[in-house]
Structure 1
Amino acid sequence: MNKNTDAKDLELQISNYLSGNCTEEEKETLLAFLANNDDAANTFKEMSAVWAVSSIPAFAEMEDENLSLIKERISLSESPATILNQSRKHISVWLKVAAAVILLLGCNYFWYIYTENLTEVYTSAESPYEIKVPAGSRTNIVLPDGTEVALNAGSVLRYSRGFGIRERNVTLNGEGFFKVAKDEKIPFYVENNDVRVQVVGTVFNVRGYDDDNYVLVSLLEGRVNLTAVSGSVMMLYPDEQALYNKSTGRMEKMKSNAGSACDWLDGGLTFENVSFADIAHRLERKFQVKIKIESERLKLEHFSGCFNSNQNISDILKEINVENQYTWRVNGDTIFITDKKGGKIER
């Protein structure tokens, strides 16, 4: 990819990246190109916003039309004020898409200046905004209130169209790192099916995938209040973690270096006395593979380790297998792991 890359080819590359359909090599090439080409970087931002909007039910059926209108408006120098002052009887599709883009990118300036107009269009709608992160990817967003959120692979974040006006509630299936903008009048809530986290302004990490048997909340700064569906309540302070067991309904507080729970932000992985079954889930999301553990004993084995972003899945499996307990084989995108019966580890 070079400076003369065709616009259609660039859009195809970006589309493949956003949908998780590109190789690591293609991803690295694209990101390097974007870092050195401002026009391409702007195209990437615009397409990222459209991609996020297209996952919202209200816009899904108009995806192609929205994209065409966005490109048309981008090529014009019409100001947001001009667009928003159009007759309400003739509100264009672009206005709706532009407002959604503003929300998704956290453009607070436009959001608060044109609150009345945008609220009328959006807050009455039932469908929430939804940001999905493909397996093997991570993404960063800024919510309308200024809260910064990093989302890990396979995560889904949803929030209402009235977010930041009447409430600040988000639902999370997956893992997210939050730097919450302080607002004493409107508390911030992160909810999944099992635990509700309440904060005013703080920094914390939540790991709560639907297919895991636990929810882990790690606090770096400030204070959070936790309420579980089982009725358990807890308050956390910096460098404390809360582990909620979905099976038993119990919530346990642990002293820990909460920062280690956020190593995924740099592409790393840390396991502290974690079951092999849980490790397998995290490796599946990070490396876009399927892992089948063909041993009930191995699923219950616990391991600890710290791995950086340069280590691939083979490196990690080898280091975890320091006592030569298991062997593995690869078939397509699936890794089969069994108790070792002698011989060298298969690759």
Structure 2
Amino acid sequence: MTNVYQLPRKDDVQAAAATWVAAIDRGLTVSEERQLQCWLAASSAHSVAMQEMTEHWEGLDVLERLAKLFPEASNSSAAASNPFSDWLTAGLSVAAIALFMVVTVAFWQTSLVPVYSGNIEKMATGVGQRTTYRLSDGSQLTLNTDTNIEINFTKYYRDIYLDKGELHIQVAKDRERPLRVFSNDKLVQAVGTAFNVELLRSGDVELVVTEGIVNTSRIEKKAGRVMSAASKVIESPILSQVKPGKRVVLSNDEPEVHALDARDVQSVLSWQRGELVFRGERLDDALREVERYTNQELILKDQSLAEVKIAGLFRTGDVKGLLASLEKNFSIKSRLIDSNKFELYKNN
């Protein structure tokens, strides 16, 4: 029979050391002191991890506070059996190392959480704006018009809250820290993929996956903000696993899944090029899409025009170009009835 031993990962060792620092800071019990001594003696990796961190710090000048924790450290016999014996010979004590970790816990947390250090970062675009960000984890995030998000990257997760609008993200791979997008009470989670998420006017969430596999879930809401404990796995069943070339509308019912061909995907992502591509959409739906990029309102005088199917490529925000095309191809005229409001009607 072969025994397989799981070696501790470096991150786990460092996380355990940080936990001990917090305990030392508030004061160890007798039982905890024994447990700490056992942990230090259990593996040379534990002492090596602490030694590596001391290289980031100079001027340890206050040692008395913790020196009493390990009085035996000064005995030669103890030093001979203690994994820190080499350090003690160099004049460093376990207490000194522990003090270093207490003082530098903020630095250590920053090194484990390279993006925003657990602080929430807000980003937004105005009407008609489009912005691309290179996040600190290497992901590329693009925000569409009139979009509000919050970002909170932690040690365990990379979280984005989409409160309004639309985003596309090319996710940098990090299997230890999944990236999650929350919108309304919907959750989209991935490791290293590319996908587009839009919060629709109805409150539903539209997901289009262009690379990799993305899981979707429904989660609990509280006081208008999703509950997303960054250090915990959300215990929500997976609604769907979405593959490339799929469009999913997440509502309060079962997810609606639609297959997209390559041209459909390009149409969905055309906003990244500053374009709107219509391929037989209803006129009323097309007008609502155009309105997202401008402060102008487009009203149908005759609701029968809503069923007209249109196709073509338009620049985002180019209302005049759209109106000219409608008049030329469908005999649908327009007139300005307010400073920012057009009425569309059939030219009989």
Q: TM-score, normalised by structure 1?
A: 0.55
Is contact 1:325-1:340 (8 Å) kept?
A: yes
Matches within 5 A, 1:189-228: 189-193=180-184, 195-209=186-200, 211-212=201-202, 214-228=204-218
Question: Which structure 2 segments of 5+ residues have no match?
Answer: 1-57, 59-105, 221-236
* Cα distance in 2 between the residues matched to 1:214 and 1:271: 21
Q: Which residue in the other structure is 1:70 paired with?
A: none
Give every structure 1 segment of 4 or more consecutive aligned residues whose post-TM-superposition deviation is greater than 4 Å. Answer: 122-125, 228-232, 246-250, 320-323
Q: Which residue in the other structure is 1:336 paired with?
A: 342
Q: Which residue in the other structure is 1:294 paired with?
A: 301
Question: Which structure 1 segments of 5+ residues have no match?
Answer: 1-84, 86-112, 343-347
Is contact 1:220-1:259 (8 Å) kept?
A: no
Q: Which residue in the other structure is 2:258 paired with?
A: 253
* Secondary structure, aligned partner of 2:215: strand
* Cα distance in 1 between the residues matched to 2:118 and 2:329: 59
Give the number of equivalent residue pairs.
223
* 1:295 CA drift (Å): 3.7
Quickly say closer, same or farther: Cα 1:114–1:278, change in 2 above 3 A: farther
Quickly say closer, same or farther: Cα 1:129–1:228, change in 2 above 3 A: same
Matches within 5 A, 1:147-162: 147-160=139-152
Q: Which amino acid aligns with 2:267?
A: S
* 1:274 CA drift (Å): 2.9
Quickly say closer, same or farther: Cα 1:214–1:294, change in 2 above 3 A: farther
Q: Which residue in the other structure is 1:281 paired with?
A: 288
Q: Which residue in the other structure is 2:155 paired with?
A: 165
* Secondary structure, aligned partner of 1:144: coil
Is contact 2:278-2:311 (8 Å) kept?
A: yes
Q: TM-score, normalised by structure 2?
A: 0.55
| Alignment deviations for residues 78-133 of structure 1 (CA, whole Å, 9 cap, x no partner) | xxxxxxx9xxxxxxxxxxxxxxxxxxxxxxxxxxx9553698xx8687xx322110
Quick one: percent identity of the two aligned structures? 23
* 1:217 CA drift (Å): 1.8
Rg larger in 1 or in 2? 2
| Alignment deviations for residues 43-94 of structure 1 (CA, whole Å, 9 cap, x no partner) | xxxxxxxxxxxxxxxxxxxxxxxxxxxxxxxxxxxxxxxxxx9xxxxxxxxx
* Secondary structure, aligned partner of 2:288: helix
* Cα distance in 1 between the residues matched to 2:110 and 2:252: 46
CA RMSD of aligned residues (A): 3.4
Q: Which residue in the other structure is 1:3 paired with?
A: none
| Alignment deviations for residues 217-271 of structure 1 (CA, whole Å, 9 cap, x no partner) | 2222111122357988222222222234x48665122222223311111111112
| Alignment deviations for residues 246-303 of structure 1 (CA, whole Å, 9 cap, x no partner) | 4866512222222331111111111234333332232222233223333433345443
Q: Does 1:132 align with 2:137?
A: no
Q: Does 1:116 align with 2:122?
A: no
